[in-house]
Amino acid sequence: MEILLADVRYIEKLNDAFGQDYTILPTVCCPHLAPPVCAHPDMVLFDFGDGTVICAPEVFSYYETLLSPYGVKLVQGKTLLKSHYPKDVAYNVARAGKSLLGHPAAVDALILRMAEEKGFSFFATKQGYAKCSSCIVSDDGLITADPSIARSAKNAGKDVLLIAQTDISLPGYNCGFFGGATGLTARRELLVFGSLKSHPDEIAIYNFCEKHGVRVRDINGKPLTDIGTVMSIVV
C-alpha cells in the first residue's frame, strides 16, 4: 500500500491533479517552524522506505493518529525543532537507495543510529536542506541545483543531473527548492507541483527521468512551487 503526504495548504490542488490515482493525506503545522514551511512533510518526517518513519516530537501525536491505521511504524525522533537554520533541518535528509544525504551536525541522532543499524551509508552535505534540494528519481539517481548535493550524491555513486538555479516559488521566501516541488511514487511516477515548462532544463529533466524509467506528471498552468515534497510512504 502507498500513501502520499503533502502540505495541508496544497491538498485540494494535489487531489484535483493526482487524487484519482493516489491517497493523499494532509500534514499539520509544526509550531516551532517558520510559517512558510511549518506544514512541509520533509521538515518533520524522515522515511526509511521500509515502513519506518521518524517524526519530530512536536507533531508525533498527530502523525501517529493519521498513519497508524495504514500500518506505518512511526518512531519519535530526538530533536525538537526551531524556526531558524540549522535547527530546523534535523529530519530534512535525502534518501536514494541505501544512501542518505544530510548535514551531519544537524541530522537527528536517532536517524543516524537507525541508519547504521539498517545498513545505510551516510554522505555529508554542506546544504542542510538536503531533501528539499534533492529530487529523488530512483535508488540510483537524483536531480539537484545544489553543487554540494551533487558532489555528495556522486560520492555515493549516484547518477546526478545538475540543473540550473532558477526561481521555485515558496511563498514567504525569495525562492524554494526543486526537490521540494516534487515527489517520487512507488509507481515510478515523479509528481511535480507546477509546470515544468517554466524550467530552463525541462527537456533534460524529462530525459533524465526517462533514463531511470520514471514518468513525469506535472500540473500545467501552475508555477513550480516548493511544497516540502510530495512524500510517498509504502507499507
* DSSP letter, residue 31: T
pTM (2 decimals)?
0.97
The CATH architecture of the domain made up of 2-234 is 5-stranded Propeller (3.75)
Contact by Cβ (8 Å): 200, 173: no
Per DSSP, what are the bridge partners of residue 232?
4
Record the cell numbers describing residue 45, joined without a space. 518526517
CA distance linking residue 199 with residue 170, whole number of Å: 15
User: What is the domain partition of the chain in residue ranges?
Assistant: 2-234
pLDDT at 111: 98
pLDDT at 25: 98
Burial of 1 (0-12, 13-18, 19+ CB in 10 A): exposed
Which amino acid belongs to residue 179? G
Residue with cell 502520499: 4
Residues of the chain with pLDDT under 70: none
